[in-house]
Structure 1
Amino acid sequence: MGSKPPFIEDPYPSGSQVIREAFRRRWIPPNVMIRPLSENTIKQYNSTLKLWWKYCRITNFSPFEYDISQTLSFLQHILDSTGNSFGSFKSHRAALSLITSTELGANSELKRFMKGVYRTRPPKPKYDSTWNTQDVLHFLQNSSETHLKFLSCKLVTLLALATGHRINIRIPDFIKT
């Protein structure tokens, strides 16, 4: 490939600077285009972009160019060297799509790769444990406790069960059976 692109010799700037440079290279006003990205999204993409920058430096490749083989090689490197979950790979794909100006999610090879990652590292369940509401209701109905702390916990539990969306609450030890 010849000599390294001059910007790759520079130390990694930051996620927002890389995104701005990517927009600038496509003649898109970066200040307006970066505004829809939240600070947390930029922080999340920063880890991917930093790894991508380092990978491009090693492979002598421009981080702003699109090449599916380079992209897949990079993602395979992450798969081999980390314990990243499928959700992390979706984030990696989104970050790279942003700076390469290519909808990576539409690429058939990348779709196949992502399916492989999904099967290799499936998403983990949102909760590691759940509780049966019938057991809780039965316990509360048959309890003769009258002290204020128990009645307060009973009220909070019933309110949580009555809402349309459940909240993740810690069940007090004295309610557990």
Structure 2
Amino acid sequence: MIQVEDPPSALETIIPSSREIIRGSFLKRGIPDAAIPILIDSISKATFKQYAGTYKKWWLFCQRNKVDIYQANVGNIIAFLNDLFLNKASYTTLNTHRSALSLILNYSNGDEILIKRFLKGVYRAKQCFPKYKTTWDPQPVLEYLKKLYPLNTLSLEMLTKKLASLLLLATGQRLQTISKIKIQNIHGIESSKIKIFITEILKTSSYNRQQPVLEFNYFTECPELCVANTLKAYLLRTSSLRKDTDEYLMLTFKKPHHIASSQTIGRWIKNILKISGIDTNKYHSHNTRHATTSAAFRKGIGIDQIKDTIGWSQSSQVFQKFYNRPLEGNKLNFVELIQGNN
């Protein structure tokens, strides 16, 4: 068996970066050097980061087995994936490796079919099911956020965490979207409705898809959960903490204050979930999207309206396949149902 993971050697000190490997693959295919930066710009930072591990393993595999990293045949690719599988790589991980290799290798449709058939065999040998069969109820979180009131009595930390939580719960957006809100794109603070335009490229951005626009009416019936009021209070509280270059909304609450990343916002949300009684060993901050969309559906909101709010196309099956989850511990007892109807 070919070993993919050997102890560190001199080879590892000269591994090209992901960007260099991808650039080399474009050159091999005859792409003009001047056009390559545009092609590389089509790849997100997150994708570069995700593929980096694949390219390191693939480069070492090819060096040890005297294979050209750009001219490998389907047998080499399956041998590589098989070694990773035998080293306990999951089906999902192997699929990521397949995707990364497809970017730098030019193999035929027949080769692609064989690789997919190998992965189908991996799936059957090592079945992969959705990570989350259930979701958490947003109600306890909302009840806790209600207690964080009046706003002018809250510490900057709790005001920040409350705003981040409400923005996610009210919109069903990703953490990345909340981290990309710019102050200059917030309109209507003094009107009856606040609109926030997201202008930066997101994970789901596409040339034929509109960017998200977040809208918040002033929620007079329950000011404790009013996103607009909380946003207004946060802007006022942080105005003196901002530098001229601080164009993003969310700031860290500890000195020195700086722009909060999506990872930082995720830690804030996890803290709020934990305080609210949500099992954070099982559910994480990114599950907010599952929880809010599932809760809206349970309340009778139509799928089309949910898709429109989140930014999914009307033909998208993402909600039905991956996001619509029942509450944990909310299974039906069919015997009791049948008896109750008699």
SS state at 2:41 partner: coil
What are structure 2's unaligned runs of at least 5 residues?
Answer: 1-10, 138-145, 148-224, 226-275, 277-291, 307-318, 329-342
Secondary structure class of the residue paired with 1:124 = coil
Q: 1:98 aligns with which of 99, 103, 112?
A: 103
**1:92 match: secondary structure:** helix
> What amino acid sits opposite 1:119 in the alignment?
R
Match of 2:58 among 32, 37, 52: 52
Q: How far apart are the structure 2 equivalents of 1:101 and 1:33?
A: 16
Offset, 1:125: 1.6
Please report how far the alpha carbon of residue 103 of structure 1 lies from its aligned counterpart in structure 2 after TM superposition.
Answer: 5.6
| Partner secondary structure for residue 34 of structure 1 | helix
Match of 1:111 in 2: 116
Contact 1:93–1:104 (8 Å) recurs in 2: no
Partners of 1:105 and 1:111 within 8 A in 2? no
Change (3 A) 1:66 1:38: same
Give me the identity figure in percent.
33
Matches within 5 A, 1:78-97: 78-82=84-88, 84-97=89-102
Does residue 127 of the first structure (1) align with residue 132 of the second (2)?
Answer: yes
Shift of 1:104: 6.5
Question: CA deviation digits over 1:44-93, x for unaligned, max 9?
Answer: 111111100010011011111130111110000000013x2222222111
Which residue of the other structure, out of 40, 43, 48, is the alignment partner of 2:46?
40
Whether 2:22 is the aligned partner of 1:16: answer no
RMSD: 3.7
> Structure 1 residues 130, 105: CA separation in 2 closer, same or farther (over 3 Å shift)?
farther
Q: For 1:124 and 1:104, how far apart are their aligned partners in 2? A: 27
Change (3 A) 1:103 1:127: farther
Question: Which deviates more from structure 2 when the two are superposed, residues 20-29 or residues 98-107?
Answer: 98-107
Q: What amino acid sits opposite 1:125 in the alignment?
A: P
Count of aligned positions: 145
Q: Which amino acid aligns with 1:101?
A: N
What secondary structure does 2:15 align onto? coil
- Say which is worse superposed, 102-111 or 9-18, in terms of deviation: 102-111
Relative distance call for 1:9 and 1:46 in structure 2 (3 A) is closer
2:51–2:97: 8 Å Cα contact kept in structure 1? Answer: yes
Shift of residue 14 of structure 1?
1.1
Q: Which residue of 2 aligns with 1:71?
A: 77
Amino acid aligned to 1:87:
T
TM-score for the superposition, normalised by structure 2: 0.36
Shift of 1:41: 0.7
Q: Secondary structure at 1:116's aligned position in 2?
A: helix
Q: Deviations over 1:133-158 (max 9, x none)?
A: 9xxxxxxxxxxxxxx76xx89xxx9x
Structure 1 alignment gaps of length 5 or more: 1-7, 134-147, 172-177
CA contact (8 A) 2:22 2:104 kept: yes
Alignment of 1:129-144 (within 5 A): 129-130=134-135
Following the alignment from structure 1 to structure 2, what is the Cα–Cα distance between the partners of residues 104 and 75? 18
Structure in which a larger fraction of residues adopt helix: 1
Kept after mapping to 2: 8 A contact 1:86/1:121? yes
